Amino acid sequence: MMTIRHLTAVAALAALGLGLATPAASAKESHKSTLQASVDAIERTGTVAVVAQSTGPDGRRYATTGLADTATGRAARVTDRFRIASSTKAFVATVMLQLVGEGRVSLDDSVEHWLPGVVSGNGNDGNAITVRQLLNHTSGLFNYTADFPAIATVAGFEADRYTTWSPRQLVGIAMRHAPDFAPGTQWEYSNTNYILAGMIIQKATGHTWQQEVTRRVIRPLGLRDTSAPDTSSRIPGQHLHGYSDFGGSGPTIDVTDFNPTAAGSAGAMISTTGDLTRFFSALLGGRLLHPAQLAEMKTTVRAASLDPVWPGARYGLGLMEIPLTCGGVYYSHAGDLMGYTTRDGVSADGRRTVVLEATGDGASSDLSTEVAQNALIDTELCATARK
């Protein structure tokens, strides 16, 4: 789940070995030092931990800083798992486009065709919204997380952190509100779109979106540290703890344990920097989708409301397209959930990838955190592109 209005910060990246020395070792060490410096700059904006991985033609580099768990004092590791929030949407869109490639779903199908009566009332009409408009956020549907106390305040979170929510309940929150605009006329990010996409996946396959993501993406790619949980509130294995005060609504608390049904197919997944690197590399490298469906995914619309964080951003089907300062673009899907911030960037051919995770609120009301995170991704992708 990505909440564009307040984006949590980043923490730390500990440099790991790159393998045997080569004639270019000094250049690699310099590049690795640059990555660590970028991670440290993010940490100084006020985060608990930051982990990052940069992968390109010259190999992999890692950097970390901060604490995975403030209670025990354990240092963050690049292999730690974390909640990826709205980066989940890229996985869900991939499954939907696989179904399109199999002829089981059409991007031009209406929501009403798959989910009769679910999108209705207060001016909402499932007949007027297509699957494509869900995936590229042009449906106009109200974003249910904007009216969801369970993730808005410390008190609301504490009251509902273990509550199980059905997709129908989450969509029902959005249906209390009139649409933000007529379908297809504007762009605005709405988590409601991807809750509906998950429901359509289940209707089309007879399996939950979690089962389909696991069967079609996680297992084939060997993403051993990635999961699409149902109601389990814990992050399995070694992981980063998340911390938040929910905009100063109370004391800073550990938000790690959380029933992920509140985010569902809009943001419930768990992963690592290494697994996200493998996923995005495979996706943009053409290993998960047929060329026609990958082209659809990369067909974008202007997303002007993202400009304060990503100037010039465009949005495709579960992918953001962001300009690089060195020319060209990279693809991404950011993720923000209480206590966790996921940022990633991958080149159009999938050969260069950067993934970073920050925990804690950091400078969530200050764009300096976002500037530091985006600068890290841009610097890394531009540096490898020049080689």
Catalytic residues: 86
First to last CA, the chain: 35
Give the number of other CB atoms < 10 A from CB of residue 51. Answer: 30
Strand partners, 301: 315
Whole-angstrom Cα Rg for the chain:
20
Per DSSP, the chain holds a count of helices (H) and strands (E) of 12, 16
Residue 375 tokens read as 């600068």
**What gap in Å lies between CA 31 and CA 63, rounded to an integer?**
11
- Three-state secondary structure readout of 128-157: HCEHHHHHCCCCCCCCHHHHCHHHCCHHHH
Count how many Cα atoms sit within 13 Å of the Cα of residue 345 in the half-sphere of its side chain: 25
* CB 45 within 8 Å of CB 9: yes
Residue 324 parent element (H or E) = none
Q: Output the six-digit token pair for 370.
A: 């976002």
Of 332, 373, 375, 377, which is closest to residue 43 (Cα–Cα)? Answer: 373
In angstroms, the CA 356 to CA 335 distance is 11
Q: What are phi and psi of 250, to 5 degrees?
A: 180, -170
Q: Which residue has the tokens 């449906």?
A: 139
Instruction: Name which of 363, 361, 86 is nearest 245 in CA terms.
Output: 361
Spatial neighbors of 256 by CB under 8 A, at least 6 apart, are: 234, 235, 239, 241, 242, 339
- The neighbour count for residue 387, using CB atoms within 10 Å, is 11
Q: Are 50 and 42 in contact (CB under 8 A)?
A: yes
Distance of CA 251 to the CA centre of its chain: 26
